Chain A
Amino acid sequence: MAILKEAYQALESIVGPEFVSDDPGIREAYRKGGYGKNRPALEGQALRPGCVILPGSTKEVQQILKICTQYKIPFIPIGCFGIATQSPKVPDVLSIDLKRMDYLEIDEKNMYAICGPGVIYAQLQAECLKKGLATEGPGCGVGATVIGNHLNAGVGPLEYRMGWAQRRMLGLEWVLPDGDIVTLGSTSLDDEDYFWGEGLGPDLRGVLRGTFGWQGGMGIVTKMATKLFPFPGQDLERTGISPRTGFNMPPHLMKWLNVFYNSIEEAAFAMHELSKAQVGMALMTAPFSWRYFSRATSKEDFHESWQEALPELKETTPYMMRIMLVGLAGPKQLEYEEKVVREVIGRVGGDVREGRPFDESWINNADAHRIMFPGGMETSMKFHFDSLDASIELAKAAAELKRKYTPPLLDDYGIPGWLQMGDFGHVAFCEILVYFDPTTDPNDCYQHEVGFVESVRQDLELKAYCGLQGSYGPEPQIIGPAYNNYHLKEKELQDIFDPLHISNPPRPLDYAYGIDLDIDLSPQK
């Protein structure tokens, strides 16, 4: 047996026989999955875990991690397994599936929610909308757990106003790899009080998270509060039958305006001017491929219409800037903001069209997964977090590089990604997306990996902020050394808080990244 019998019995006595298993079928279901699935660089050989456990409380999590420490059992925390960095890369791990811990409490007045690690965004959003509040679901979809996503990603379509998840994290309870519990923010002084994230004094959320996070490499967060935002959710009307389900938006309070451009610069300029005017709830520019995904009825339908449209799209390079206006203060605000948008677009140029007052994706779905229609996997050649002007510069260079690897990457045009701002325009995010099929022809996958590493080098050459930190790329090999060896500091913290390196090894500093691929991982080519 993979996990020592003695340890297994101890685990069983913690959660009961119903919630622990070393059955091969059950373990098989925890081998692969999520962002980067089938990318050997991220998931390696994707081994079966030795055992799977479903704890039901913080106390159980704590006891489990103590057993792991005692028997030196590597473990992997699992939210909904939305990232391939949960595939066991080392043998005999204990996969800790947290879905039973779906505790949720909302403080309506003070606009925050306390979530257990099993709570997904959709549940949180459903409860929030009833109360005139909202959270921001990530682009991958609101099936992601609130905690898993807050700790490791947290990019969504509403960040213009709600910011990245890093900043929404408030008080929290965290079981360190050795089983010790630490509470952050207001919770550090009062176990029941989750409203505040900073402090005491220096803010240890800094140890918990960065651009991305530890990817399970630093224990388990068992409770976390997240900020909520005012949003007239009670006025949304659910409608439709799958796959065309959506919210009818109350026309007196919400509106889409779509503005069309033929260059990314024009679109970005308009975004910039709108953010200056401080209007809108959400603001994003995306390529037309997204419209084709979202309208496609099937893969075949997508590919047919895409191939048909592509020559013209390459000529005209259309982009759609979408702005969602919301009258948080009431209908008058909506009227005012629409006037501002029209005024701004009147000045900067662009073709404004009113969108259907309907949302199938941004408020409670963010179905980046329809993004799977074109290929087998969508990955990001670049995550770029900085400013709008930096994003545009880098995106253009990235588009050039991407062409070099097309095919096997799916052919598209212009800037193949999405662009949006955070904090009303102070910061911006751009993700260059690529679509390919990692399973039909292994060489396609290999080519993708080569292009991916080259993209990292491109960031460094152009002195752009490479956002592929936290197990998403060749971090200890290329990115860390280029950035003051920050990864070694991170490693020192890891050595202190996880001296046995049992929390999801080898992440986040994955020296095994791409090791079997024979890809040149030298910093410069």
Chain B
Amino acid sequence: MTLIDFETYRWDAQNCVRCSNCRWVDFIWMASLQFSKICPSSARYGFDAYAAHGRLEIALALANGELEWSPKVLEEIYTCTLCGACDVKCLRNVGLEPTQTLEWMRQKAVDDGQGPMPEHKAVAENIANNRNRYGTPNDNRGKWLRSDARPVQKADVLYFVGCNSSFKQQQIAQATAKLLNASGTEFMILGEQEWCCGNQLYNVGLVDQAREMAEHNLKAIEESRAKTVVASCAECYQTLKVIYPKLMGKSTTDLGFEVLHITEHLDQQLQNGKLKFTAPVNMRVTYQDPCRLGRMSEPWTHWEGKRGKYGIFDPPKPRRKGTYGAYDPARNLLNAIPGLQVEEMERRKDQAWCCGASGGVRDAFKELALWSARERIEEAKEVTGAEAIISACPYCKENFTEVITADKERLQTLDITEIMLQAISPEGKEAC
């Protein structure tokens, strides 16, 4: 069974006017021909089957039995980073929610025994066997910890570390821990009781397996009695805040704890004077809004009902338009760092260009993921002349790093925790 009921969104697919807004940066914010696109998959492949509106047509045909599954059709639906830009754009002018259908198609692919892509299955298998994406024993999850990062046994704040920072880019976890300490935040971690959040499982349509992760992690959090869960990974953050309630048929407000991204938490600490940046970081940087921290992070409100004439939801359904994404905390933090010059790219906040890593794309369609990252790096260089592109999600950084290394770019990429670490202690510089 798919989690999403296509019959609720059939009306959207039928009534998409094909204005193509979902392929472009908000027209007000569009500032140049060069950086005017917003849908990576459509920009990369050209055919409309790779844009939200084309995928809606495909969904309709699949639902009506007018289109058969094929490897190509799977490619058409999985070469999408589920970055949410199409929803933001469509909701501005037309009022449809294409990503609901994009998610449904993947769930249907799995249901029909067609999806996900083999690469996704491999990751899913790792998770099934080892509770993390990488297939290493989950006992190693806490190994990133260094002596200078000090979690406590019991605290109101739980740091949900995530697979990537636990196993691959551990410096992000280390920086996060130090920043929590430096801001006077006592925090705990779940250690091996932390399982992969399941973001990718959900995104590729593996709903049941994703729910298993949700159930486990929610239970672990409940048992920890944490009041606030802080994530340094934008994917984990969105999973906890949005996908879990969606999977569990409830609203974000019913979770029983607050979910914050590290940037949100530290911004609060900055505002109330508990965090101070004292060491200058003389650098010109630009900031990448991770999709899942920005436009896709609005809280989830559970809705049940039916759809009537004119596409009216009964009862009314709240739409998530990307308005209340966490855009400002990261900017507040960066702007508070002495010596740091922060320049905006043309595509920013709700209109940010996806780095290309998400939605299972980096695993199954690496070429698209790197292409998307390369586009963003060009923008960072051309528009801002930046020395570094800062993100707030390990997957963005990982994807950027691969391109920067391959292309021998002079531009650096850093996670926001890493640059903040430099600003609280001169040693931070060496640590990065």
Contact = CB atoms under 8 A, between A and B. Distances in A.
Interface string B392-403: 000000000000
B362 interface: no
Contact of B17 (A54, A365, A377, A441): A377
Contact of B312 (A19, A299, A441): A299
Given A104-B33, A120-B20, A243-B91, 6 more contacts: A29-B54, A29-B55, A137-B27, A241-B349, A242-B295, A370-B94
Highest count of chain B CB atoms <10 Å: which of A33, A37, A301 = A33
23 contacts: A26-B47, A26-B49, A26-B72, A28-B57, A28-B61, A29-B54, A29-B58, A34-B17, A81-B20, A82-B19, A82-B20, A143-B19, A143-B20, A143-B21, A238-B28, A239-B28, A241-B350, A242-B295, A303-B312, A304-B316, A365-B27, A369-B94, A370-B94
B30 A126 contact: yes
Contact of A241 (B18, B49, B322): B322
A119 interface: yes
Highest count of chain B CB atoms <10 Å: which of A29, A125, A365 = A29
A211 interface: no
B298 to A, nearest CB: 11
Nearest to B56: A29
Interface in B182-196: none
Interface residues on A, range: 35 or more
A308 interface: no
Interface residues on B, range: 35 or more
Contacts of A372: 15, 17, 93-95
Contacts of A57: none
B418 interface: no
A263 interface: no
A374 B312 CA distance: 9
Contact of B57 (A29, A142, A240): A29
Contacts of A246: 28
B170 interface: no
Contacts of B51: 29
A306 B29 CA distance: 30
A80 B36 CA distance: 15
B72 A23 contact: yes
Given A241-B350, A299-B313, A120 B48 contact: no
Given A81-B20, A126-B36, A372-B95, A29 B15 contact: no
B187 to A, nearest CB: 30
Interface string B8-38: 0001001111111101101111111100100
A78 to B, nearest CB: 9
Contacts, number: 216
Interface stretch (A94-102, A200-208, A254-262, A321-329): A94-102
Nearest to A30: B48
A81 B56 CA distance: 15
Contacts of A26: 47-49, 54, 72, 76
A21 interface: yes
B268 to A, nearest CB: 20
Contact of B11 (A19, A125, A130, A440): A440
What are the 8 closest A-B residue pairs judged by CB atoms, nearest first?
A33-B18, A29-B54, A300-B316, A243-B92, A29-B49, A369-B93, A29-B48, A376-B15
Interface in A51-109: 52, 54, 80-82, 97, 99-100, 102, 104
Contacts of A414: none
Contact of A299 (B58, B68, B311): B311
Interface string B64-97: 0011101011001000000000001101111100
A34 B67 contact: no
Given A81-B48, A365-B27, A376-B311, A32 B57 contact: yes
Contacts of B408: none
Contacts of B33: 102, 104, 119, 123-124, 126-127
A235 interface: no
Contacts of A242: 26, 88-89, 91-92, 295, 321-323, 350-351
Contact of B95 (A299, A304, A439): A299
A122 B27 contact: yes
A140 interface: yes
Nearest to B76: A25
Contact of A245 (B20, B73, B76, B92): B92
A507 to B, nearest CB: 17
Interface in B295-329: 295, 308-314, 316-317, 319, 321-323, 325, 327
A375 interface: yes
A327 to B, nearest CB: 21
